[in-house]
Structure 1
Amino acid sequence: MKKFNYSIPTEIFFGKGQISVLGREIKKYGSKVLLVYGGGSIKRNGIYDSVLEILQKEQIEVCELGSVDPNPRINSVRKGVEICRENSVNFILAVGGGSSIDCAKVIAAGVSYKGDVWELVVDPRKVEDVLPIGTILTLAATGSEMDGFAVISNLETKEKLGTGHDKMKPKFSILDPTYTYTVPKNQTAAGTADIMSHVFEVYFSDTKEAFLQDRMAESILKTCIKYGKVAIENPQDYEARANLMWASSLAINGLLSYGKDTNWCIHGIEHELSAYYDITHGVGLAIITVPWFNYILNDDTLYKFVEYGVNVWDIDKNLEHYEIAKLAIEKTANFYKELNIPMSLKELNITDENFEKMAEGAVRYGNIGQIKSLNKQDVINILKKSL
């Protein structure tokens, strides 16, 4: 196992009714709040009213930034920074899924920055002072509620880039599984695929001695497989929603990657797809995953697919190893199909027109992938296999 420094400072309030701590927690850090949220679902399901009622009772001033898009735009971040500066905001509260939370994180980092906030996305080393952030999660997917990362899109430059800084980790996050009851089936499916992809990115590593991390990773994958379909079929199943919500946080808060060599690649490729076509992130990840699996399967990586097949999909360990690997890949594809996730780029009306540019973007900082390093041509090949 590799050496590491452990830090997961976000305080989690998990369970039904935990919004009751909101006012108390915010007042530890500030009294003027920017409320960041998305397309309006929190107004339809009553969460918005609950938040405002609590903040008004605690005499906490509120400014708002609504209509944050999926694949959040840098323009929304810029607008949020402007609101904060004009109103002397000293706390950011994101209510929603990963898009709202990611937007809030970069706003928090941008308020004190003298240049254009996009520069912080391109080079997070420029991040210095960050306003404190809290979140109320309404979608189990990105895990942004418990990490310091954010992904922001720039439509003008056709870039979707990940950024991150320890200071961007939320101070607290409220995780009430009942807040995910109204999530549509397609978003629940995409969120499940997103969680699984976060695990795949760190599980498929050649650090062979991280036994504990790999077993935890497998348990999260099995949780998604067990409860993904349940949540889609019975949206108000608390057990399913609770397990998916906690899996979302644990998949990317660092526990699985501490002590391992990692270099993400599925996300790097999907970010290019989203930058050019603005597709649902989890759907793009699911489409790319199976062709990526097939592309990286070889004699050197076979052992990892055998672990995956036996420990996650309960495939007979006595079968020939390549048979186990191919069955594991097939079962992954079939699971995504059972969630009604599109399994090819053609289903999204995406052609190979921009593959070369997208591949260049995916490897702009060098090869991607850890257990098998991918160059520009490799990325093009995987995209072609995803058609």
Structure 2
Amino acid sequence: MVDPFIYHNPTKVYFGNDALSHLHEELPRWGKNALLIYGGGSIRENGIYDTIVEEIRKAGISAYEISGVKPNPEMPLARQGARFCRERGIDLVIAAGGGSVIDTAKVIAGSALYDGDPWDLVKSRAQISHALPIMAIPTMAATGSEMNSCAVITNPDTHEKLGWTTEALRPRVSFLSPKNTFTVPPAQTAYGSADILSHILEVYLNRAEGFDAVDGFMESMMRSVIRWAPLAMEDGFHEEARTNLLWDSEWAINDLIDRGHSVSWTCHALEHELSAFFPIPHGLGLAILTPAFMEYVLNEETAPRLARFAVRVMGVKEGKNEIKTARKGIRKLRKFFTKSLYLPGRLSEIGLDDALFEDMAAHAMAWKSTDGILHGFYPLTEEDFVAIYKKAL
């Protein structure tokens, strides 16, 4: 039987090309003194920034802004933002950008009411009861952070990239406009699509009993990403492709598909250390590590699930030998990443070697386990983590 659970996702979502036109309606309901957070300035170039500023003006509230969020967000900017909120009496945080921007906004909103170092809250997995309200305006399909209660952030001083999950971090309102993703470059589209696939696979690869309908939903979403991602890369203005990818990204990680059993998030644990030690995109790391992980854990116990993935998602013909079928599916997945998304298939292709693998594995295990074993799709030790990194090399 599935484990007992509560499902509650109160994020209000406006979806459609006119979604952002409703921002001025929602702003006064949540605050009067907002902080707008964004990244490197692309929203100024594509017109999204001007639209947001006009919506803020129409709402009649005041607003400040902080920019410069990095692709792998870091604590110094989050500390600066939290301090700014306290000093200026900010009562609402608006995030406009990708998952890194939204995650930074979450850490700022969650720590603005705390006088200490925000890293204390992240490191301790603090279950806070209050945070500043968050509104999210995603500009790419990837993390789904605009509809969930998790933030991932890096402490560059300690080489730790950790997730902080607490219900207070869930955005109150999110504005999802496919047209706001039209100008995302092909490489970023590929990284985001790999992230979406990984979010689903991390849940799907589970030997615990689940819901048949949810399994089918996950398979359908993965097929959707595989279908639409290459088209969005080929033509950024392909509205059907952008629309499907954006909605896939939400349901991949908004607490629906993972209800009823625990999820170990093994590949994410491995990748978080990879991009904590090296400046590589999160989605790229996942695209390289995921097939290596699947190959490493393939055995008689895991073969049924991996073979089902091969048949129902990757289109492999069902055979009598589940291990052989599973291997074909893993090969097709790696080929999708390398030939359809044009991503490197090995860590060595992006200039990495094995010098830090043991340190990375130790960091990952220390965060994910208290007994030295990560109990997931297949039990793994710190030595297994090192072996997976090497398999991906």
Alignment of 1:116-135 (within 5 A): 116-125=117-126, 127-135=128-136
| Structure 2 match to 1:346 | 348
| Structure 2 match to 1:357 | 359
| Structure 1 match to 2:385 | 379
Distance 1:369 1:329 in 2: 22
**Contact 2:7–2:259, Cα closer than 8 Å, also in 1:** yes
| Structure 1 match to 2:187 | 186
Distance 2:160 2:314 in 1: 36
Distance 2:103 2:220 in 1: 26
Distance 1:78 1:134 in 2: 19
Residue 313 of structure 2 aligns to a residue in which SS?
Answer: helix
For each residue in 1:10-33, what CA deviation from the matched residue of structure 2 results, as whole angstroms up to 9, or x when unmatched?
A: 111000111111011111110111
* Aligned partner letter, 1:262: V
* Aligned partner letter, 2:314: W
| Structure 1 match to 2:296 | 295
Residue 28 of structure 1 aligns to a residue in which SS?
Answer: helix
| Structure 2 match to 1:252 | 253
Alignment of 1:207-218 (within 5 A): 207-218=208-219
| Structure 2 match to 1:17 | 18
| Structure 1 match to 2:238 | 237
Alignment of 1:62-141 (within 5 A): 62-125=63-126, 127-141=128-142
Residue 30 of structure 2 aligns to a residue in which SS?
Answer: coil
**Contact 2:127–2:166, Cα closer than 8 Å, also in 1:** no
Residues 1:262 and 2:268 aligned together = no
* Aligned partner letter, 1:249: E
Unmatched segments (≥5 aa) in structure 1: none
Distance 1:169 1:117 in 2: 17
Distance 2:245 2:309 in 1: 20
**Contact 1:213–1:256, Cα closer than 8 Å, also in 2:** yes
Displacement of 1:126 in angstroms is 5.0
Displacement of 1:82 in angstroms is 1.5
Residue 363 of structure 1 aligns to a residue in which SS?
Answer: helix
Q: Alignment RMSD, CA only?
A: 1.0
| Structure 2 match to 1:370 | 376
**Contact 1:63–1:83, Cα closer than 8 Å, also in 2:** no
| Structure 2 match to 1:30 | 31
Question: How many pairs are equivalent?
Answer: 387
* Aligned partner letter, 2:105: A
TM-score by length of 2: 0.97
| Structure 1 match to 2:327 | 326
**Contact 1:264–1:368, Cα closer than 8 Å, also in 2:** no
Displacement of 1:67 in angstroms is 0.7
Residue 93 of structure 2 aligns to a residue in which SS?
Answer: strand
Alignment of 1:26-65 (within 5 A): 26-65=27-66
Distance 1:33 1:21 in 2: 16
| Structure 1 match to 2:4 | 3
* Aligned partner letter, 1:356: E
Distance 2:84 2:53 in 1: 18
Displacement of 1:319 in angstroms is 4.6
Distance 1:325 1:206 in 2: 15
Distance 2:341 2:272 in 1: 22
Distance 2:188 2:281 in 1: 9
Moved more, 310-319 or 250-259: 310-319
Distance 1:277 1:286 in 2: 15
**Contact 2:210–2:260, Cα closer than 8 Å, also in 1:** no
* Aligned partner letter, 2:351: N
* Identity among equivalent pairs (%): 40
**Contact 1:268–1:368, Cα closer than 8 Å, also in 2:** no
Displacement of 1:125 in angstroms is 2.2
Distance 2:94 2:374 in 1: 33
Moved more, 80-89 or 132-141: 80-89
Distance 1:369 1:277 in 2: 26
Distance 2:210 2:173 in 1: 33
Unmatched segments (≥5 aa) in structure 2: none
* Aligned partner letter, 1:295: Y
Residue 124 of structure 1 aligns to a residue in which SS?
Answer: coil
Moved over 6 A (4+): none
| Structure 2 match to 1:224 | 225
**Contact 1:264–1:369, Cα closer than 8 Å, also in 2:** no
Displacement of 1:124 in angstroms is 2.4
Displacement of 1:143 in angstroms is 0.7
Displacement of 1:115 in angstroms is 1.3
Displacement of 1:369 in angstroms is 5.1
Distance 2:127 2:347 in 1: 36
Task: Return closer, same or farther for 1:291/1:59 CA change in 2, 3 Å cut-off.
Answer: same
Residue 69 of structure 1 aligns to a residue in which SS?
Answer: coil
Distance 1:90 1:203 in 2: 38
TM-score by length of 1: 0.98
Displacement of 1:268 in angstroms is 0.3
